Amino acid sequence: MTSHVESARLDRDDLREFEHHAVLFDSAEHLRRTAVPRLRSALRRGEHAVLAVADPTRDVLLAGLGAADAARVHVADHAGFYDAPGRTLAALHRRARAEHPRRVLVVGEPPLPLSEPMPLREWHRLDSALAGALAETRLGMLCLHDVRGLPEVVVRTVRRTHPVLLTPDRELASPDYTDPAVFSAADLARPLPAPTGAQLRMDITADLGALRGRFADLAARADVPGERRDDLVLAVNELAANVVEHGGGSGVVALWRRPGWVVCDVLDHGGELRDPLSGYHPADPYSPRGYGLWITRQLCDFMEIRATAQGTLIRLHLRG
């Protein structure tokens, strides 16, 4: 049964931690009545307000705010802000740090690429991961989703990845909200599609300098574009370092192309990484571990983690 978190109190002075709300709207009026009061209230409290939405949504919200309030909102490039899940999360962290101790409200419109199952799944995973990844920030996230034309399974997944649903009249605890670890657990054992086309392969060895050189040659043979090649070499280096220093000690890298994408598998023989959300939590500055996956998620466009009979398999996807 749906429970009320509380009535929509817009002028709270106890906003200390991360908050994550979803707005499922079906008209411009619904959007305006739900999101504009939140934006206006945030500005009244002196918060830094960021708008990262598609152009039609932006126009509705800015018009609803009026010229004076609209001028105080930072309008981010929507495509750039939602370029890749790892980079979106890093941008949110940078924004929270830059404004601290001032609170930040980000009104975003996450992409839902319905025709691309893998990117759709990974954008859902980011939304699920935000509760833990941003827990210690003074940041509020208001995710807007136009439900017109969205399949019911996608709408339900939005409800599973957002703890609170916002309507024009109230806040509701999402009846479908799922703990992030539970949400992603089923994917850990889900087999990844078999590689397509010819693969270029190499073994992982302890000499990381030599490994970077060998993999750069491999990427050149695969016609990986120059800038993306540098990103991929750094990402593979980070994963290989994890294999050598914290994993099974040996493994294999496989590289191939599919239309519009470069795909790279890094298999850690005997690796025991079992968290599909690895790399979505900022590294502990006092820990020698954790930076590699955090960095890798920012270098590539999408990253998938699987447990296999051979060990841990991490698949990287880069547009190119």
**Residue 303's domain is classified under what CATH number?**
3.30.565.10
Place of tokens 């009846």: 175
The pLDDT assigned to 58 comes to 98
Above 60 in pLDDT, residue 15? no
The pLDDT assigned to 290 comes to 61
Q: How confident is the model at residue 1 (pLDDT cuts 50, 70, 90)?
A: very low
Above 50 in pLDDT, residue 5? no
Question: Which of 185, 216, 241 corresponds to the end of one domain?
Answer: 185
Is the domain of 153 the same as that of 17? yes
The pLDDT assigned to 13 comes to 43
Is the domain of 175 the same as that of 223? no
Is the domain of 197 the same as that of 178? no
Is the domain of 254 the same as that of 305? yes
User: Residues 280-293: what's their mean pLDDT?
Assistant: 70
Is the domain of 173 the same as that of 302? no
Is the domain of 101 the same as that of 248? no
Is the domain of 132 the same as that of 35? yes
- Domains contained in the chain, number: 2
The pLDDT assigned to 117 comes to 96
Task: Report the percentage of the chain scoring pLDDT > 90.
Answer: 88
Is the domain of 210 the same as that of 290? yes
CATH of the domain at 74: 3.40.50
Is the domain of 111 the same as that of 201? no
Q: How confident is the model at residue 17 (pLDDT cuts 50, 70, 90)?
A: confident
Query: Which residues does 143 contact at the CB level (< 8 Å), separation at least 6?
Result: 20, 21, 22, 23, 108, 109, 110, 127, 158, 162
SS3 letters across the chain: CCEEEEECCCCCCCCCCCEEEEEEECCHHHHHHHHHHHHHHHHHCCCEEEEECCHHHHHHHHHHHCHHHHCCCEECCHHHHCCCHHHHHHHHHHHHHHHCCCCEEEEECCCCCCCCHHHHHHHHHHHHHHHHHCCCCCEEEEEEEECCCCCHHHHHHHHHHCCEEECCCEEEECCCCCCHHHHHHHHHCCCCCCCCCCCEEEEECCCHHHHHHHHHHHHHHCCCCHHHHHHHHHHHHHHHHHHHHHCCCCEEEEEEEECCEEEEEEEEECCCCCCCCCCCCCCCCCCCCCHHHHHHHHHCCEEEEEEECCEEEEEEEEEC
Question: Which of 123, 152, 185 corresponds to the end of one domain?
Answer: 185
The pLDDT assigned to 289 comes to 57
User: Residues 26-51: what's their mean pLDDT?
Assistant: 98
Residue with the larger pLDDT of the pair 244 and 320 = 244
pLDDT 10s digits, 228-268: 999 999 999 999 999 999 999 999 999 999 999 999 999 99
The pLDDT assigned to 219 comes to 97
The pLDDT assigned to 281 comes to 87
pLDDT 10s digits, 156-185: 999 999 999 999 999 999 999 999 999 999
Question: Which of 130, 157, 185 corresponds to the end of one domain?
Answer: 185
Is the domain of 130 the same as that of 9? yes
Range of the domain at 98: 3-185
User: Residues 110-125: what's their mean pLDDT?
Assistant: 98
The pLDDT assigned to 288 comes to 53
Is the domain of 131 the same as that of 201? no
Above 70 in pLDDT, residue 71? yes
Mean pLDDT for the chain?
92
The pLDDT assigned to 9 comes to 33
The pLDDT assigned to 168 comes to 96
pLDDT 10s digits, 203-223: 999 999 999 999 999 999 999
For the whole model, what pTM was predicted?
0.92
Is the domain of 69 the same as that of 209? no
